[in-house]
Amino acid sequence: MASSHRKPRSTGSRIAGIWTPAADDGDPRLGEVEKKIDDLYRQADSATERDNAAKRTQKINSVRRKPSSFTATPHDHYDQAQLMSRLTARRKDAVAAHLTERSTTAGKHQEATVSLQAPDDTQSDPRTAKATVQKKLSTARALLSQSAARQQRQEAAAALARQAVAFARAQVGKPYVVGAAGPGSYDCSGLAQAAWKAAGVTLPRGTTDQANAGTTISLADAQPGDLVFFHDDSSHVGVYVGDGMVIHALKPGTYVREESVHYGGMSVIHSVVRPA
């Protein structure tokens, strides 16, 4: 089996024979981002409702302050009662109209989002509230854009991994030959290299270099296409195909085959690396 000089290993910890990477707090998962965006939308709804409530209060106060054209006299008691009744009815209609407007507005979807910061007291001013909602809408849209881009990258990587797995599976039954990288025979690192080359990804030739040519993950998080390295010196590699199975060229006298990733016991598994 071909091998090259060892390079510094990816940052992580060794647990039960498996290297696990350090956490990447700067890259939240899609579900976390979506939850954060949902929280921002709820905050924006609250800010928008305060804006609407302030406007309704201003309108109602304006109606109440509107001077009446009616002037009562001792001699017009009957007319005064009629006009007062009309004025009261007019004010009731204005209040009812604003209450109806509030009910209708509450039933509509508010397309407004807010930033990660909680709204402050200045939002009692309708103009300030509107500006805050617009600013936070831009923030949430940026988060959505970032989430969509991240998802697209993940889908593209998964597509490449499927191509690598399909190639490896097509080689099952071909003989193991030391130093071979196809197409008629392979050694372990030659098979891994050829599989990912079929997906358009270039890997180093030796197992030691391949073990440092991607992102180290835990075996529990392994996905089809990941490379599983065995033994303390990473001297053997196989292509993970899912469901706890790996395709590899094991040793001279054998053929490329698909079998359990635990074929040699848990202790021989060294690490798992995701090339793409």
Task: Return per-residue pLDDT of the chain as tens, 276 residues.
Answer: 444 434 444 444 433 333 434 444 445 555 666 677 777 767 766 766 777 777 777 777 776 665 554 444 555 555 555 655 665 666 566 556 655 555 555 444 444 444 444 444 444 577 777 788 888 888 888 888 888 998 998 899 999 999 999 999 999 999 999 999 999 999 999 999 999 999 999 999 999 999 999 999 999 999 999 999 999 999 999 999 999 999 999 999 999 999 999 999 988 999 999 997
Chain position carrying tokens 């707090």 = 25
Cα separation of 254 and 245, whole Å?
A: 18
* Three-class DSSP category at 187: coil
In this prediction, residue 234 carries a pLDDT of 95
In this prediction, residue 139 carries a pLDDT of 86
* CA dihedral sign of residues 19, 208, 240, 155: positive
In this prediction, residue 78 carries a pLDDT of 53
Cα separation of 213 and 76, whole Å?
A: 98
Radius of gyration (Cα) for the chain, nearest Å?
A: 34
Cα separation of 143 and 148, whole Å?
A: 9
In this prediction, residue 109 carries a pLDDT of 43
Which residues are catalytic, by number?
188, 236, 248
